Structure formats: structure tokens, C-alpha cells
Amino acid sequence: MDIGPNRIGENRDGQSGTSSGTFLSARDIHFRVGNRDILKGIDLVIGPGEIMSLLGANGAGKTTLLRVLLGLAAPARGEVFIDNAPTASLPRREVARSLAYVPQVHMTPFPYSVREVVAMGRLPQKGLLSNPSDRDHDVVQRVLGQIDISHLADRVYSEISGGERQLTLIARALAQQASILILDEPMANLDFGYQALLSKHLRGLADDGHTILMSGHDPQLAYSASTRIGLLIDGHLEQDGKPDDVLTAATMQKLYGVDVESVALACGRRAFFPTGQ
């Protein structure tokens, strides 16, 4: 079924689960809903090893941008590329071999086990109609171990905690063996411990050569979890760079409309506190 060269998704037969690394880029993305411009020309290139957080006020267009990058919403103008291939021209299944989506934690109407949810990640690799092979089962088992949730494998997905469900969805993305991960507010609804755990896993994945983009609400979390931060303000990517450069009292004033004090810590990191109450 898949004989012949394909530029992307060559990692299908690799054992490591990650590839040599794939770039995700967006060129001049515009998006409209009715006569309201949501995105007004976004340019973005993200590569292997990067963890980029998108920050923006509610309604700034973070989710829309992620959906456009995933190919779930068609932009009014502009294109999205996986390496050099425009995603709009690729079959969806091929896109899914390079680009995995980790949605916000949700419930399922049916009592799928964690293992079954993770196994859905094998769909783009094995095809829609065939049953999972032994190799698919092996991959599922391996990613469950990689994310340290092997003990949850036979639990019902809708009965475990929000943090455990988020990890399950990340495991499913890994089972896809895609090298680009897009996460929609992965830190929301997680307790402090799970936020730290998730940051650790994301760092590990980036070190393995994954390209990671996520949206978020908490600048402190984004600061400590990412290698790069983008500020989405009014449909433009206003700032894009290293966390230390992007997150300043001035930019956060602009982003959230409140005064913020940025405190340098002894370890070389920074902490942010809203001021003036």
C-alpha cells in the first residue's frame, strides 16, 4: 500500500520512535470568521528540539492557529509546511504520520481502556481497515512505558484522573510516531505535580528530536517548560524568542493588561508576580 518514496514519515520502521527531526512552518497565515480577522499574517518555523509555548489572552487566536497548523481549519490565506511539503496537498493519513495532536483532556462516551486509546495512535501507520499487528502492540506497550503509565494500561480512560488522561493522550501521540507534537493547553486542569511531570516528559521528547508546540495560559509555566515563547496578540505573533527575552514586565502588561513584577532568582531563572492590588 505504501511502496515508493515518501518524504515524511520515514520513521515508520525505525525502532526509536523518533525521526531525524521535522520542521513545521507556517507562512503568512490569515484566518477569518465571518468578517472578523482572527489571524492576521502569522509566520512561524519550529524545528527539532524546540519546545515552543504560545501565550495569548483568551480569544487571541491560539486555538485557531493550532487548528490551522494541524490542518483542521483551512486558512483564508497562507500555507502550512511539514519540512518542505505543504500539508494541504498531502493525504491526511500522511500528515498524521508526521504531525500528532494532543487535545485538551476530555471524556469519552464509551469506556475505552487506556491501552485502546493509545492504540488509536497506530491508525495512521497501520491503516484504517487492518487490525493492529504484534508490532503495533509492541509500540503501544513501549510508549506506555516511556510516559510511565504502564500501570494504567487496563484502566478505563474516563475513570482515571485528568493528569493521567493528559499523559494517555501524549502517549497516543507518541504511538503515532510523529515527530511534531501540537498540544492544546496541556497544562490546564493539571495539578502542580502533573505540570512538573509533563514538563519533564516534554523536555525528554524534545531532546529525542521531537518538535513541540503548545498553547498555554500561565506565563510562569511557559517560562519554565519551554525553550521558546511566542506571544499572540490581536492576530499577530508580536514576540517570538527565548523565554528570558520575551517575558518581560512590559510584554506581559501588553499581553494580559496587568502590571507584573519580574523577579530574578538565584538559580538564574525568573518568577512573575502581578503587582498593585
Partner 1 sequence: MRRQRVFAIGALLILALFGMMAVSLAIGRYPLSLADIWEFLQASVGLHELAPERYALLYNIIVEIRLPRLLAAVLIGAALAISGASFQAVFRNPLVSPGILGVLGGASFGAALGLLISEQWMVVQLLAFVMALLAVGFGVFIANLFGPGTMVTLVLGGIISGALFTALLSITKYTADPYNELPAIVYWLMGSLQAVELKHIAVVMVPILAGIVVLTLLGHALDALSMGDDEARALGVPVTAVRYGVIIMATLVSALSVSIAGIIGWVGLVVPNFARLVFGPANARLLPLSAAIGALFLLSADCITRVLTPAEIPIGIVTELLGIPAFILVLGRARRAWI
Q: Give me the residues that bind partner 1 (CB under 8 A), please.
A: 67, 70-72, 91-97, 99-101, 103, 106, 108-113, 116-117, 120-121, 123-124, 128-131, 156, 158-159, 176
Question: Which residues, 6+ apart, have CB-to-CB distance to 273 below 8 Å?
Answer: 260, 261, 263
161 CB-contact burial (10 Å; exposed 0-12 / middle 13-18 / buried 19+): middle
DSSP E strand stretches across the chain: 24-33, 36-46, 51-55, 77-82, 85-86, 99-102, 180-183, 211-216, 228-233, 236-241, 260-264, 270-274
Q: State the CB neighbour count (10 A cutoff) for residue 10.
A: 15
Closest separation between CB of residue 241 and partner 1, Å?
28
CA dihedral 171, 194, 218, 188 (to 10 degrees): 60
Nearer to partner 1, 116 or 240 (CB): 116
Closer residue to partner 1 in complex, CB, 96/260: 96
Q: How far is the CB of 173 from partner 1 (least distance, A)?
A: 9
Q: Measured from the CB atom, is 18 or 168 closer to partner 1?
A: 168
CB of 126 to partner 1, least distance (A): 8
Instruction: State the minimum distance, in angstroms, from the CB of residue 91 to partner 1.
Output: 8
3-state secondary structure of 203: helix
Instruction: Specify the residue, 91 or 145, whose C-beta has the smaller distance to partner 1.
Output: 91
If DSSP codes are grouped into helix, strand and coil, which group holds residue 10? helix
Closest by alpha carbon to 83, among 114, 127, 46, 32?
A: 46
| Least spacing, CB of residue 23 vs partner 1, in Å | 19
User: CB of residue 129 vs partner 1: minimum separation in angstroms?
Assistant: 5
**Please, which residue, 97 or 210, has the CB nearer to partner 1?**
97
The rounded distance, in Å, linking the Cα atoms of 262 and 244 is 10
Q: 106 vs 151, which CB is nearer to partner 1?
A: 106
